[in-house]
A and B are shown apart, each in its own frame.
Chain A
Amino acid sequence: MALLQISEPGQTAAPHERKHALGIDLGTTNSLVATVRSGTAEALPDNEGRVLLPSAVYYGPEQPLVGHSALVQASEYPTDTLQSFKRLMGRGAGDVDAMGYTLLESEEGMARIQTSAGDISPVQASADVLAELARRGRDTVGSEIDGVVITVPAYFDEAQRQATKDAATLAGLRVIRLLNEPTAAAVAYGLDSGREGLIAVYDLGGGTFDISILRLNLGVFEVVATGGDTALGGDDFDQALAHWALQQAGLNAGDPAQLRAALMAARAAKEQLSAQDSAELIIGGQSLAITREQFEALIQSLVKRSLRACRRALRDAGCEPTDVQEVVMVGGSTRVPLVRSAVAELFGRDPLTSIDPDTVVAVGAALQADLLVGNKPDQELLLLDVIPLSLGLETVGGLVEKVIERNTTIPVGKAQEFTTYKDGQTAMAIHVVQGERELVSDCRSLARFELRGIPPMVAGAARILVTFQVDADGLLSVTAEEQSTGVQASISVKPSYGLSDDQIADMLQASWRHAEGDMLARQLAEERVAAEQLVLSLHAAIEQDASLLEAEEREQLEVAMLELVGLCENSEEPAKIKQACEALGRQSEAFAARRMDAAIGKALAGVKLDELESMTEDKH
């Protein structure tokens, strides 16, 4: 039943200001979408009331089928029904378990899956799932979507994050932020309870395990350490149980159709065993009984593996299990009683399970999305994230010199000096790698580029400053500069496993082939919106901080703003509007810097006042 909703005056933004943002949990087994409506975040159901969309796509002779309708095809067309493809994101065919599919490698070394409808990249399959969820979001809010926050496992590396962003672009979505899944879960709980202190987020999904240690204080979440395993999840419980069942029934695990059927039966039995002490599996016409105890013996080593990762993350955070004040459970697999009791034992407390572990991540993402598009200007919540893996450079002998250590809070910029190896060396190969091991061959290669034009000097005399800059999404750019001449080379890391901008453009163009004229119109509309936003935000800034501007500066800015507004009305060229926006941005940079400095001064003054007050209180 639909009720008319009436809000208190002043509590909601004016209708034209309210923006529509979605939080999307793009999972290995299931995906879902949530949004904030009337101040509450909730997962959005499909027409039949189901919130979980199976992360499955069937590529048949017709349009791809996504979700439940894809799963229906799975037993008849197992190799054309793609599942668990999140495990292939940003990976080469040789890096991963083929999971019963035929994997091919693209020219860029990226895994693709062979289907009767052609070779499909995991990015494409993810884009199809995202598009389906976005459609659900659009239908629910009844308008276009301004932006999305997509969650990724905390352990995702550069290539995997980039692949996720590529999928969103392919689905025509604007990504405001990639958010670590456990962080999103803590947002969902933190906002509700407003607690302070250390929080552990134990996230055992279908395909990945993450442990995050977060510190929550005065509305600020800080990820102090992350750890986990990208190849551990409830799917492995199913596998263990299915293989046991096939063995008991004397059947062949090598037959894909039989394995699939066994996996389905195993999943159902696993779910039953969360509520009861025994269950029955029907497999190949035979009925097998299994007790919870037997099941727990099968999965014990998997659960233990997750606990070791927990202890490592705790050590990285410099704390003991007992320092943790709350443990948040995320992911459907945390319904398994053995998982709950093992976690409770490690931390010495019962974990939090009050929010549905399947939807908690999407709910947190929706809250953060709502915040980031500016629907809650007074909200104090701020997420501080860390990079999950160390970033470094190859040095002489194939060794890795780490420039940014894992678990460093982002954004971060760090510079390190390197020098030449041979006399008269005029060029230097910069090889950027990611990982914890000492040898380059054990780490993941992210990018290579060359710095040329180094003046000839004796070995060790040149000073090459290499700067790493990681933005708030965890994406990296690297610059190398020779100090005496200032010659420079730089690269934005587009991992060799991701899609290039050109490839994305090609794929997008292919999907718009029927409407080429639309593309220009769309670009023009996008640039106009961007210009409008820039003018609005600058206008608000001038109103707020007029005292930080000289009269002349203010006049120049206002003239430029008027010109930009005029250009938007009269020009049909997106490139021109974009240029004018960039020029206005540069012109206002000094003002923006002064505003930020003023804000910093105010922030510190506020804290110092609080410190003084608490000192005075202590004396009383």
Chain B
Amino acid sequence: MPRPGFVLDVDRSTPPILFHHGEGFRFEKLPPGRSRVIYPAEPIDPIKNPDGAIRDALENPIGDSEPLRALLKPGMKLTIAFDDISLPLPPMKSPDIRQRVIEAVLELAAAAGVDDVMLIAALALHRRMTENELRHAVGDRVYDAFAPHGLLVNHDAEDPDNLLYIGSTDQGEEVEINKRAAESDLLIYVNINLVSMDGGWKSTATGLSSYRSLRHHHNPKTMRHSKSFMDQHRSELHSSNWRMGKVLRDSGVKVFQIETTMNNNVFGTEGPMSVLQKREWEWTLKDRITAMGMKAALDRMPARSKRSIFQNWQAPHAMTSVQAGEVEAVHKITTENVYKQHLVSVEGQTDILTMGLPYISPYNVNSIMNPILVACLGLGYFFNLYRGKPPVREGGVVIMSHPTPWEFHPVHHPSYIDFFDQVLTVTHDPVRMEAEFEKSFAEDEWYRHLYRTSYAYHGVHPFYMWYWCSHALQHVGQVIIVGGDVRAVHRLGFKAASTLQDALEMASDVVGRDATITHLHNPPVLMADVS
């Protein structure tokens, strides 16, 4: 029986806590008496027969939907869209959940005599997936059957011929999505829900949309009104996507949503990496030797080698639920299942929030975690992993641990380089950068060309990463990065500290000497349910 997450009050007997630090670790002693650590739940038990569960979900849909078998007709136009490389994190061991679901869907489609089938990676403004990444997501069988005929493609949000303007919401938000998806008799969306922000109408209204549509909710105003964007009842991002979903539904786009959840088994229960998933006081002698050995080796290893080791890691995630049918009804159940794994009850806020940032975020799979992504992972994702209120009080301090190298992937993140040099040198204010710089990056022909033909994130993407931090930047009084490249940290507008003790000392200027501390222990991710 997996143990639930819990909050540990730090005292003198508490061992040093493992902080992830990019492609390495730090062991930190938190001040006793005024610190607490939020530990995630252990991985919940997976479904024993995932393929059977998928077939069952397709036959017994949720909400106002017929079984998939009944929706499939000979001669129909069928489009299957699926989540891109940003999910799950880290990439999971083969077979990927998407492969299992897509194969089950295609078996039914074949039995129904559906010939006109197309698969689309719903990547919005993310980079295109490479052949290997697509193969991993959908499996060799599906890839070999569809890709050579041009029937398995990456969504192109800058292809005017393949986008269709559907209409606008009652608040004037334009809805424009992939033309093939919009004109299909049935659009099946295959989703992986890693965090509660994923899924629902966000899958189609964001994943298959264009800049014209995305700009209505990917902006500082929406992000500042999403408290947090992981809590759909208090997320303006969620509300906007739901309004767009209504436009899609009313215009006749028929969506059959298939959502899956997975457990947080990131490093497994065996092998050297499994120590990263255990609670420190439960480490055996072997675990302690492994952890120390890994740290010593990683500290001495070149960055490229470390990155290669971690980026090649495939997590033994396993599926914990699958539900299919009408979008909103499905997503409601999905969210409950996500919460079963992630929610940890936490009482009250503290003055300081600490977090060890790992090597991976949704936007640097098989890539480099540049300083902008470090900020986004900490202040965008981890900070927002709460329900109720943030674990740190307003005006408090966030301390993040990450090497924050001044390093960018030139193929994946070309516009990030210019954003770092041209925008962050002028302002850190998301509202100002939106007004002054966003349009020129979003409509830059070179970035557009790289997004469409190479493997680059869209020109506007680094702005979105900064907007993601809007709520945190507005909420906290100071951000300190421990162990980061000082110049890069300063460019981000944050303070740099060599050690956690230094960071706490610096934080005392803002929150006082006896400040209380909350540490988010991750990965795996958790969601603090703060009362």
Are A and B a genuine interacting pair, yes or no? Answer: no
Instruction: Give the B-binding residues of A (Cβ under 8 A).
Output: none
